[in-house]
Structure 1
Amino acid sequence: MNAINNENVYNTLSLKWLGIDTYKESVIYMQRDCLVCQTEGFEMHTRIRVTLGDKSILATLNHIDNDILGHHQASLSTYAWNLLNAHEGDVIKLSHPKPLQSLSFVRSKIYGHQLKSTEVMQIIEDIAQGRYSDIQVATFLTACAGGRLDEAEIIHLTQSMTQVGVNLSWPQEIIVDKHCIGGLPGNRTTPIVVAIVTAFGMMMPKTSSRAITSPAGTADTMETLAPVDLDIKAMQRVVEQENGCIVWGGSVGLSPADDILIRVERSIDVDSEGQLIASVLSKKISAGSTHIVIDIPVGPTAKIRSIDTLDSLEHLFYAVGSAMGVHLCIIKTDGLQPVGRGIGPALEAKDVLAVLLNQIPTVVQVEVSA
């Protein structure tokens, strides 16, 4: 047992493993009437600093009313448990965290004030470090939705998300990438483009997200064919051997704040214009891309539903891309209907293979779009 020397014994509890998976949210579980909760005033959803040895995280408190935990015990969600590298019986120290200054910037944005570059950076750093609860992340996303981010703020957001993470470099002068805004079922053109472009010798280190508003994202579809949870070294090795790759952006840590934002976006079904631009470009730039094609489907059920919205988005993409020093080419595609025959990761992967094997006309729309 890794005991923590602490003069205040009321701030320590022994860990018990419960095996509760909250995906990527750090949660701590304690008896509602345990001594630590009473003396420290910890109530439901309180943010608590949990320390074990030289590791420390912020976790959201959930109370337990039955006897699954003793009054001198606590448990952690699987994600928090792994972050601390905890073991059954370890003693953790609990304390109130320092107030997050960046939350005052989020509150300011809610009331219509413009965010400065330093304020955006602090918000993104705190999100990437896990200092925001999911509720606080959702608050930030909502404050930025509905066209509330101006051009300067989107540039600040893109720069911050690029800087907070890993940035790759490659030996070739031109590194290409392609991204589809999505929102349409069956729109799996990216794997086709990656396969063809890399076969002709161009370097395309493609990082993709999982689905946000459609049944499957590029990473979800590719995962039915090959692993996409590659770390940086594995990704670099694949690119060096094959000229390109398709990996899940969350596994390589290129833009860790964006991975958290996307996870919460999917829960609240919000994908704002400014956040979309910052998300796309930050990951492309972090991956080392210099020339990027942006595919924007326009249709009644797509993310972009009118030409006016397309024009606004196109202007912002070019403005932010220019500020970030990358070359963009934006194309409008038909978003009136699903693109392929299959809906969902496995069936969409089947469509991709059919096109690459020239099994036409079974999925002609996917081939034409690609």
Structure 2
Amino acid sequence: MKDDIANQMRARRLGVLTQHELIALVHADCPVCRSEGMSAHSQVTVTHGDKSVIATLYQVTEDWLPVGSVGLTDQAWERLDLEDGALVRITHAPPLASLSFVRQRIFDDGLTDAQIRAVVSDIVRGAYSDIHLTAFVTATAAKPLVTREVISLTRAMIDTGERIDWGVTPVADKHCVGGLPANRTTPIVVSIVAANGLLIPKTSSRAITSPAGTADT
């Protein structure tokens, strides 16, 4: 209990959007960081009640952020369900066992179903920083996944993600692998399938750098 009180800080909402990576800002003179040996780019666990998130720590030197406060990005704030002035606890994030599996894959060793599921689960809960995600992409790009690993990765993504139950079967989908920009086949194919009575939910995105988005292909 004593450590819990010592590591408490007053939460402030930064009003900053960072998508999947959660960020915590503290003052460079933060006593918690000094006592715990935390520095910029440290991975920390921010806890409030029974909820916690893993965030990347950054430090500021200006006084707009008080020494006893921690600034949190909007995504971290919402996941912790905080209110202005709430007290949170800052601790070192525990080591991620799944990172050893990423390292294993980089060194040309395949991954089991359980290992892939552990990696995906940690990614979904926000435990991976951008650097960790880059390492995972590198591990699967240098030597492409074998069929067994692709199946395991697909199943893990399905099981850890949000799924929509449309209440009917079958549910059809049309997917284009790309490579031929502006061929305009997707809107036509989806319309034909839907006109024949099949349920085919579809969103069409637009690409930024070329006419290769779903709306174009």
- Work out whether the TM-score is over 0.5: yes
* Cα distance in 1 for residues equivalent to 2:208 and 2:111: 26
Residue 195 (str. 1) matches residue 179 (str. 2): no
Residue 138 (str. 1) matches residue 134 (str. 2): yes
Match of 2:150 in 1: 154
Matches within 5 A, 1:24-35: 24-35=20-31
- Equivalent of 1:74, from 55, 70, 77? 70
Residue by residue over 1:30-50, the C-alpha shift from the partner in whole angstroms, topping out at 9 and shown as x without a partner, is 112210110111111111110
**Aligned CA distance change for structure 1 residues 117 and 178 (closer, same or farther; 3 Å):** same
Match of 1:17 in 2: 13
Q: Is the 8 A contact 2:9 2:88 kept in 1?
A: yes
* Cα distance in 1 for residues equivalent to 2:24 and 2:173: 41
Match of 2:2 in 1: 7
Amino acid at match of 2:190: V
* Cα distance in 1 for residues equivalent to 2:52 and 2:101: 24
Match of 1:87 in 2: 83
* Cα distance in 1 for residues equivalent to 2:208 and 2:6: 43
Match of 1:123 in 2: 119
* Cα distance in 2 for residues equivalent to 1:109 and 1:212: 31
Q: How many residues align?
A: 216
Q: Is the 8 A contact 2:47 2:90 kept in 1?
A: yes
* Cα distance in 1 for residues equivalent to 2:38 and 2:51: 21
- Unaligned 5+ segments in structure 2 are none
Q: Is the 8 A contact 2:178 2:212 kept in 1?
A: no
Matches within 5 A, 1:1-370: 6-8=1-3, 9-170=5-166, 172-183=168-179, 185-186=181-182, 188-206=184-202, 211=207, 214=210, 217-218=213-214
Q: Is the 8 A contact 2:40 2:57 kept in 1?
A: yes
- TM-superposed CA distance for 1:88, in Å, is 2.0
- Unaligned 5+ segments in structure 1 are 1-5, 222-347, 349-365
Amino acid at match of 2:107: Y
More helix by share: 1
- TM-superposed CA distance for 1:217, in Å, is 3.6
Residue by residue over 1:216-267, the C-alpha shift from the partner in whole angstroms, topping out at 9 and shown as x without a partner, is 743xx5xxxxxxxxxxxxxxxxxxxxxxxxxxxxxxxxxxxxxxxxxxxxxx
Bigger mean CA offset, 157-166 vs 169-178 = 169-178
SS of 1:204's equivalent? coil
Q: Is the 8 A contact 2:117 2:153 kept in 1?
A: yes
- TM-superposed CA distance for 1:17, in Å, is 2.6
Q: Is the 8 A contact 1:183 1:214 kept in 2?
A: no
- TM-superposed CA distance for 1:211, in Å, is 4.6
* Cα distance in 1 for residues equivalent to 2:117 and 2:206: 25
* Cα distance in 2 for residues equivalent to 1:92 and 1:99: 21
The TM-score, its normalising length taken from structure 1, stands at 0.53
**Aligned CA distance change for structure 1 residues 98 and 213 (closer, same or farther; 3 Å):** farther
- Superposed CA RMSD in Å reads 2.4
Residue by residue over 1:16-72, the C-alpha shift from the partner in whole angstroms, topping out at 9 and shown as x without a partner, is 232122123210001122101101111111111101122111111111121121110
SS of 1:75's equivalent? strand
**Aligned CA distance change for structure 1 residues 78 and 168 (closer, same or farther; 3 Å):** closer
- TM-superposed CA distance for 1:158, in Å, is 1.5
SS of 2:57's equivalent? strand
- TM-superposed CA distance for 1:196, in Å, is 2.8
SS of 2:89's equivalent? strand
Amino acid at match of 1:22: T
